A and B are shown apart, each in its own frame.
Chain A
Amino acid sequence: METLAIYAPKLVTASDYIASGHRACSGCGEVLAVRYVCKALGRNTIISNATGCMEIVSTPLPETAWEVPWIHTLFENASAVASGIESGLKALKRKHGYTKEVKVVAMGGDGGTADIGLQSLSGALERGHDFIYVCFDNEAYMNTGIQRSSETPFGASTTTAPAGKLSMGQHTQKKNMPAIAAAHNIRYVATSCSSYPFDIMNKIEKAKQIKGPSYIHILSVCPTGWRSASNLTITMGRLAVETGIFPMYEIEDGKYTLNFDYPKLRPVEDYLKLQGRFRHLTKENTAEIQEHVLTEFNRIRMLAGKKIK
């Protein structure tokens, strides 16, 4: 779908459910991703949003950028609130003859998903509520000032994992959140990226059709926290996919599909050199990252039943 450049994008629906005029930084990839997600979800949606960038930028007190019902929850209970809404709707249908088909969506950043909100997410996935969880992964706690999270990649410098003489920034690998979600044996898990609008919309459409929980992990480029130029947002996202750092795949009923595979992956330097948070990395560090990326990508290739290159 991504090769249908220029004309086909004009055919996508013009209605937006997140209004312009929100307070996101220039070049924010997350708000782009939210826009595509909302386009695909449509009007009949209730969103429960964990604390994070998205909540901060979209709802400064007297105003709101949302044009769908939206609830701000705490970091730890976005999925718990979503399960409550879903159960409430079920009760409304049973007792009061409510007929509208409403999709419940929980949203959160990487901190609200992989660190603080993990237990409530796990519970909601296990109980099998009919909802979509969308994680907007910008690889650190950006709204509070770039503190490390478990989704921060190896080698990135953050304010709580700073690079210096004794440390090379984050020293652990990114947590594999899609695999954790898939381990709950839910029917649909996917990864996507803010630079691929069609891909996001297709995956949300698919998740919408499914009765039961589904999990979508979206890499959202954050120029502020990644210390990259704000005009390179789209490029950064595409480079993350083309270098193999962020493989885009879906898991449908346990079956893996790799959406973007390239004859030859780009070297990771292409991606790392554009970001200030990786500025301090030495050649050895980069080689280590490259090796890890290739192993991970080949693992996904193997799971998707493709030849390992």
Chain B
Amino acid sequence: MKCVNWGLLRLSELVTLTVNGNKYTAEKGQYILQVARAHGIKIPSLCNLDAVEPYGACRLCIVEITRGTRKRIVTSCLFPVEEGLVVETDSPRVVGNRKMLLDLLLARCSENKVIKQLAAEYGIEKSSFEKEYWTKENCIVCGLCARVCEQVVGVSAISLVNRGITKGPASPYLESAKACIGCGSCYYACPTGAIKMEDKKGYRYIYNWKIKYRLQKCKVCGIEWAPEKQLEYIRKKWDLPKGFFDVCPNCR
């Protein structure tokens, strides 16, 4: 058995579920959101990213499922598919709940472009809460930055701190994050643009974690191409010789 077709040897079972009245086949273990997205059904979400485990923080991906005679609202990013599941992605109850969530988010992030646009899609121009409760926050505490840092980069330089209304992502003791390698994954992953990163005059700044790292200059072309600390981290991890990253990938 040298040439194995793993596609055919797939051990997982297949299940059939109904989404918005149409029947779809999916693998056991997949989540509703995955299946729906794969078939082009639109479900809004902010805190979901393929590269990390689902977390269910933003709640925007809620759908209504029917099992037997009971109906329930669940987050589709966290709910595994099962045989005979009936899913409604845009039932009046789901849309009503989603509108409430967006209303709350809009009160918190009253000036955020992404939230505003999402809310506008559901016909909310202005939060219905009183203006004194509005804030100009950008972060929605979905924890994607911390999850990416832990699961993809593997350094866990940041985490969610505090409880209740003060909860939020932060560097340890709110000081400069020592373990941070300045890779910018958190900046890329953030769905609402709450993380401020900048490359300026030979340094990389991530203002949220209070870091300032020098960028490595290519010895040949002089282009600043990555933070020194990140390259040092990779060099140590893969046991590469010193000076391996002196030259940028284009000039190598």
Contact = CB atoms under 8 A, between A and B. Distances in A.
B120 interface: no
A10 interface: yes
28 contacts: A3-B224, A3-B225, A3-B226, A4-B185, A4-B187, A6-B226, A6-B230, A6-B234, A7-B152, A7-B153, A7-B184, A7-B185, A7-B230, A8-B183, A8-B185, A8-B188, A11-B50, A11-B152, A11-B189, A12-B51, A13-B50, A15-B50, A43-B39, A44-B40, A44-B42, A100-B40, A235-B250, A242-B250
Given A100-B40, A242-B221, A14 B50 contact: yes
A4 B183 CA distance: 6
Q: Which 7 A-B pairs have the closest CB atoms?
A: A43-B40, A7-B183, A8-B188, A4-B184, A7-B185, A44-B40, A14-B50
Contacts of B234: 6
Q: How big is the B interface, by class?
A: 20 to 34
A6 B224 CA distance: 15
Interface of A is mostly: loop
Interface of A: 1, 3-8, 10-15, 43-44, 100-101, 235, 238-239, 242, 262-264, 266
B3 to A, nearest CB: 14
Contacts of A4: 183-185, 187-188
Nearest to B37: A43
Contact of B250 (A1, A7, A239): A239
Contacts of A44: 40, 42
Interface centre among B38, B39, B188, B225 (most CB of A within 10 A): B188
B199 interface: yes
B61 interface: no
A149 B161 CA distance: 60
Contacts of B226: 3, 5-6
Interface centre among A5, A7, A263 (most CB of B within 10 A): A7
Contacts of A238: 250
A13 B153 CA distance: 16
A214 to B, nearest CB: 18
Contacts of B50: 11, 13-15
A10 B50 CA distance: 9
Contacts of A10: 51, 152, 185
A101 B230 CA distance: 41
B184 A8 contact: yes
A266 B38 CA distance: 44
Contacts of A3: 184, 199, 215, 224-226
A3 B199 CA distance: 9
B21 interface: no
B222 interface: yes
Contacts of B189: 8, 11
B113 to A, nearest CB: 11
Interface string B238-252: 000000000001100
B179 interface: no
B73 interface: no
B42 A100 contact: yes
Nearest to B90: A99
B61 to A, nearest CB: 16
B160 interface: no
B122 to A, nearest CB: 14
B49 interface: yes
